Structure 1
Amino acid sequence: MAVPKRKMSRSNTRARRSQWKATAATLTTCENCKAPRQSHQACPQCGQYAGRTYAEAIRTDAVETR
């Protein structure tokens, strides 16, 4: 197993980590209802993906608690 020989400085650590960033999700338009949706996922408005209806488009904003 590789073990570092010396402690990596704070500036070198931060310089390396500066390249590791999150990217924004790519949005496409739904072919059925023209709403924006994420690629390779069912549309949140109409529930269709690749010409098939997978689920009813029901939004659940609040989670029910007991």
Structure 2
Amino acid sequence: MAHPKRRHSTTRRDKRRTHDALSTKALAVDATTGEIHLRHRAHVFEGNLYYKGKLVVESYEKA
């Protein structure tokens, strides 16, 4: 593997690391239930599974 011949400055290191920050998760509010959930994901509300505001599975239980 290649090894650097000279040390990189802290400025160069920090410039590279500027893109490593985590972004916040995108949240949405379901129109029918009012539940806050992750976008493009199904969510459980009162034992039922909802996706895009529609009931997908009734009496859904996680195994």
Q: Structure 1 length as normaliser, TM-score?
A: 0.58
Say which SS state the counterpart of residue 18 (structure 1) adopts: helix
2: CA distance, partners of 1:52 / 1:5? 61
* Higher strand fraction (1 or 2): 2
Alignment gaps of 5+ in structure 2: none
Identity of matched residues, %: 18
* CA root-mean-square deviation: 2.9
TM-superposition CA deviations, 1:10-62 (whole Å, max 9, x none) = 32112220232111111111122011111000123242013242472x58xxx
Aligned positions, number = 57
2: CA distance, partners of 1:54 / 1:7? 58
With over 3 angstroms needed to count, the CA separation of the structure-2 counterparts of 1:54 and 1:17, relative to structure 1, is: farther
Q: Which runs of 4+ in 1 moved over 6 A?
A: none
Q: Structure 2 length as normaliser, TM-score?
A: 0.60
* Higher helix fraction (1 or 2): 2
Tell me, yes or no, if structure 1 residue 53 matches structure 2 residue 63: no
Which has the bigger relative contact order, CA under 8 A and spacing at least 6?
2
Alignment gaps of 5+ in structure 1: 60-66
